[in-house]
A and B are shown apart, each in its own frame.
Chain A
Amino acid sequence: MNRLWQPSATIDALRQRAGIINRIRAFFAERGVLEVDTPSLSHAAVSDPFLHPFSAQYIPEGGGQAATLYLHTSPEYPMKRLLAAGSGAIWQLCKVYRNGEIGRRHNPEFSMLEWYRPGFDHHQLMDEVDALVRAVLAGESARRITYAAVFAEHTGLDIHQCSDADLQSLAAARCGFQGELSRGGYLNLLFSECVEPRLQAPTMVYAFPASQAALARVVEGDDRVPSAARFEMFVKGMELANGYFELTDADEQLRRFEADQAQRKALGLTALPIDMPLVDALRSGMPSCAGVALGVDRLVMLALGASTIGEVIAFDTQRA
């Protein structure tokens, strides 16, 4: 008999996981944040050039126009539309889907906790993320450090001064890397190979390079140069959460979507439909807010001391 019928997690791990989910639910209930549930199938996909959504065919019964729908890679866009519609603070725990991602810390479907706080900036949201993580893992408060400072600490390079050639030679020396990458690509490689594994104690990295802003606004005052109001939390060398002081400017949002589309084309990927309802929602006015997405499976991995994601989800994709 094939043993793949068995769960990848132990029943005890699933019991502990359920306890952590209850704690998360209580955390938001105490703070008066509204739980929401947005669609996992949508007509548009994320624009992020390095995320590959699953697509599915909608076929009307009895005939008619079929349509391609995309499984969400995060609930960000519809949650922002709720904010624009006046929801106030909201949170969601849902399954999200990312094609092609499989590894020790990756499963093509995983659980994401995402929340938005009108009136907060990224520094206030870092406080709240820290409180939530400590409600689950206990332990000390996270250290906060800028991207440039933590990069310099572990590589000796100043991202504001160093040349592309400096990054390239360090990638060859430290990671044996050969190949072509953009400056942003080298930063990403060096960060994930030389910095991330060293961030063992809880750490919030903020003030990302403006080129890695994604959907964060660009601000002055966090670093010597204008930087993305974006933060990531790392625990035991693992990326756990990614947050923004959210971009609210519709025109800038559209420009970034179009820049992502251009990058997808340059990478030889098919361009995906732009989410115009999000642009329209921003245009009608989304309150100033900060938002964050946190990998719940990874949080459970940390709480249980698990080394693979399969140990904390009932059935990993191999067994699904």
Chain B
Amino acid sequence: MANYSTNEFKPGLKVMLDGDPCSILENEYVKPGKGQAFNRVKVRNLKTGRVNERTFKSGDSLEGADVMDREMEYLYSDGEFWHFMATDGSFEQYGADEKAVGDCMNWMKEQVVYTVTLFNGAPIAVTPPNFVELEVVETDPGVRGDTSGGGNKPAKLVTGAVVKVPLFINTGDVLKVDTRSSEYVGRA
């Protein structure tokens, strides 16, 4: 992979840091009136999801990371791996382990298309679409006629995720949920 210098650290650039692939989030040029220039860089470790701040001398460089985001349809899980198939017509299949699926576990649904991040050809992260539709498997009985939206209650979805829903929602309803905020959007 190519090397990138601090002035090429644009948000979204993927680089290797301490042996892990990372994505640049922010890069701020810091220079005292007298003295060396530095770059204060915010990165997300693509394996752990953790965000770190690191400071580099301006002009230092990092190796690029062989990271690729691909759209893939979720097929099934065998308990150890979650299997996906690329939607670009190649029909290539990939198995992501529990670590790679991470928090996306709450939003897994067969036949839905996810963004799978590959590092050196292997899945390291799975990102759900902004909205998924999932069935309610457990919630207190619905309050008929209460569509005012005042008040809410917890509902357990088929994936095990729990979201707050209005009182009129029943077990068996299919809900549209915003995966970024884990919030109920509406009935599907």
Known interface pairs A176-B52, A176-B53, A179-B57; A48-B34 also in contact (CB < 8 Å): yes
> B40 touching A193 by the CB < 8 A rule?
yes
Assess whether B29 is interfacial by the CB under 8 Å rule.
Answer: yes
> A177 touching B30 by the CB < 8 A rule?
no
Known interface pairs A48-B34, A188-B35, A212-B34; A103-B28 also in contact (CB < 8 Å): yes
Considering only residues 30-81 of chain B, those with a C-beta below 8 Å from chain A are: 30-38, 40, 52-57, 60
What distance in Å separates the Cβ of B61 from its nearest Cβ neighbour in chain A?
A: 11
Q: Which of B28, B30, B35, B37 has the most CB of A within 10 A?
A: B35
Known interface pairs A50-B34, A185-B36, A212-B35; A175-B54 also in contact (CB < 8 Å): yes
Interface 0/1 of A197-226, CB less than 8 Å to B: 000000000000000101000000000000
Compute how far the CA of A189 lies from the CA of B57 in the bound complex, rounded to whole angstroms: 9
> B31 touching A191 by the CB < 8 A rule?
no
Quick one: closest B residue to A214, CB to CB? Answer: B34
> B36 touching A50 by the CB < 8 A rule?
yes
> B55 touching A189 by the CB < 8 A rule?
yes
Compute how far the CA of A257 lies from the CA of B107 in the bound complex, rounded to whole angstroms: 64
- B57 neighbours in A (Cβ, 8 Å): 179, 181
> A176 touching B54 by the CB < 8 A rule?
yes
> A101 touching B55 by the CB < 8 A rule?
no
- B55 neighbours in A (Cβ, 8 Å): 171, 175-177, 189, 193
> B38 touching A189 by the CB < 8 A rule?
yes
- B34 neighbours in A (Cβ, 8 Å): 48, 50, 212, 214, 242
Compute how far the CA of A5 lies from the CA of B28 in the bound complex, rounded to whole angstroms: 25
Interface 0/1 of A67-111, CB less than 8 Å to B: 000000000000000000000000000000000111110100000
- A239 neighbours in B (Cβ, 8 Å): 32-33
Compute how far the CA of A106 lies from the CA of B7 in the bound complex, rounded to whole angstroms: 14
Q: Which residues of A contact B (CB under 8 A)?
A: 48, 50, 100-104, 106, 171, 175-177, 179, 181, 184-185, 188-189, 191-193, 196, 212, 214, 232, 239, 242, 293
Q: Which residues of B contact A (CB under 8 A)?
A: 28-38, 40, 52-57, 60
15 more A-B contacts (CB under 8 A) besides A106-B31, A212-B34?
Answer: A48-B34, A50-B36, A101-B29, A102-B29, A104-B29, A171-B55, A175-B53, A176-B55, A179-B56, A185-B35, A188-B35, A192-B30, A192-B35, A196-B32, A212-B35
Nearest 5 A-B pairs (CB), nearest first? A103-B29, A176-B54, A175-B55, A188-B35, A177-B55
9 A-B residue pairs with Cβ-Cβ distance under 8 Å, sorted by A, are A48-B34, A103-B29, A106-B31, A171-B55, A175-B55, A177-B54, A181-B57, A185-B36, A188-B32
